A and B are shown apart, each in its own frame.
Chain A
Amino acid sequence: MIALIDYGAGNLTSVRKALTALGAEFTTPRSPEELAQASGVIVPGVGNFAATAALKGRWREAIANAVAAGTPLLGICLGMQWLFEGSDEAPEVGGLGVLPGRVSRLHGNAEQRLKIPHVGWNALDAPPACGAPQTLKGRLLAGLSPQPYVYFTHSYGAPVTADCTASTTHAESFAAVVERGHVFGVQFHPEKSGDAGLQILRNFLTVCQAC
């Protein structure tokens, strides 16, 4: 059973719909204690980083415990940003801190008409350190064509670190997919990214089944 965390940041309808289409069994836990039984945890979310303050305390503790117990975790958009140490968008609210680095505002480029928020379909690139630029690595990106397009909508981005398995460029490069052990994150919305997005969610479910 996948635990889909509802902390009031945005709408879960489309994530639920995608999980249903993939045949996943999932629940939206009412109390943090329920996470102990979960085969995987998804932290979705759109909007301001300040919204993740709702995860403070018992929820945060339960998610951290699940990660420590080896339960796969997927952060989507704001949920991925929350995996890092914190964000300049709401410096007073700390992240979960399971990934090193801080989230900062994207700059765009007015001259090149690269606007912020970064809204729309953009490509996933393998980070340069991964060797051949076309080859995407990591369990979350298994079976995807080179440079697949996925749907983004955000104004802040996470740094490209050793945990980054795919980056995206919009005036600057930021982490689009992160993977560290059984902790995963995607800056885009897989539930809104057509077949490529469904494949990524399917890959996460496969990881959950294997654990």
Chain B
Amino acid sequence: MLTKRIIACMDVRDGQVVKGVQFQQLRHAGDPAELARRYNVEGIDEVVVLDITATIETRQALARTISAVAHEIFLPLTVGGGIRSEDDAAAVVDAGADKVSLNTAALRNPELITTLARRYGSQAVIVAIDAKRRDAGFAVYVRSGTSDAARDAVEWAREAESRGAGEILLTSMDRDGTRAGFDCEMTAAVSNAVNIPVIASGGAGGREHFAEVFTRGCADAALAASIFHYDDTRVSELKRYLDTQGIPVRL
């Protein structure tokens, strides 16, 4: 039986892992390779490295960070941040990424999804959607959450799938870093609208939140950052708890 995936995300700036609250107030959380090594031992299923300043400062994700992380783990590694072109994607893939995550660039140039899916296969292309609740539906934001894209998350996820995306990484900006739980309604709305896996992100605070997003939120995978970085929740303990809740996980 396919298990629900637990993914550790590292937001990287200047080669160091940082974490903020609702995309602001960044603080230092450690060395990417060291964290990756620890997560691997604890049984993490996948690792995501996001170069969070790449889009704003117009630079590519650091190949050195990717390579250092890739040397620590024999697990799927996704890299996002600042990937605007086929060449940008090739640079991170050559550095050791298995999947690339597109955000701002996918909205600006949706053809890039198709181009990369043709070159590397859909399994290698994740479209990341940062969204906030509004009166009706969920508003998509770009440029690290600073700019309203005037798109609805459900509709954009459907388009991304039709253009060749292999997975959707859905982040609730309202919940990001708050530890108030995932936005299960938003996750379920997107997950039920597409046939590709949806990774829920934003708001993980305790093990119950994971159980909730895998059941009520219909998520295929759940991603968290701060609770794993600061050792509040060990991946191994989280997985054992999910197992007792009848949620299939890799133990």
By a beta-carbon cutoff of 8 Å, the part of chain A in contact with chain B is: 10-11, 13-14, 17-18, 21, 46-48, 108, 110, 113-123, 149, 151, 153-154, 169-170, 189, 191-195, 197-198
Contact = CB atoms under 8 A, between A and B. Distances in A.
A11 B75 CA distance: 14
B49 to A, nearest CB: 14
Interface residues of B, number: 31
Interface in B192-221: 195-197, 218, 220-221
A114 B166 CA distance: 14
Given A110-B195, A117-B166, A120-B220, A11 B76 contact: no
A192 B76 contact: yes
A46 B1 CA distance: 22
B120 A119 contact: no
Interface of B: 1-3, 5, 40, 45, 70-71, 74-77, 93-96, 98, 120-124, 166-167, 195-197, 218, 220-221, 250
Q: Is the interface of B mostly helix, strand, loop or mixed?
A: loop
Contact of A123 (B1, B167, B218): B1
B3 A46 contact: no
Contacts, number: 91
Given A46-B123, A116-B195, A117-B196, A191 B2 contact: no
A198 B74 contact: yes
Contacts of B120: 10-11, 46-47
A122 B220 contact: no
A193 B75 CA distance: 6
Contacts of A118: 2
25 contacts: A10-B120, A13-B94, A14-B74, A17-B74, A17-B96, A18-B74, A46-B123, A48-B121, A110-B195, A113-B218, A116-B195, A119-B123, A119-B220, A120-B3, A120-B45, A121-B5, A121-B250, A122-B3, A153-B76, A153-B166, A189-B76, A192-B74, A192-B76, A194-B75, A198-B74
A119 B166 contact: yes
Given A120-B197, A169-B1, A11 B98 contact: yes
A16 B123 CA distance: 20
B64 to A, nearest CB: 14
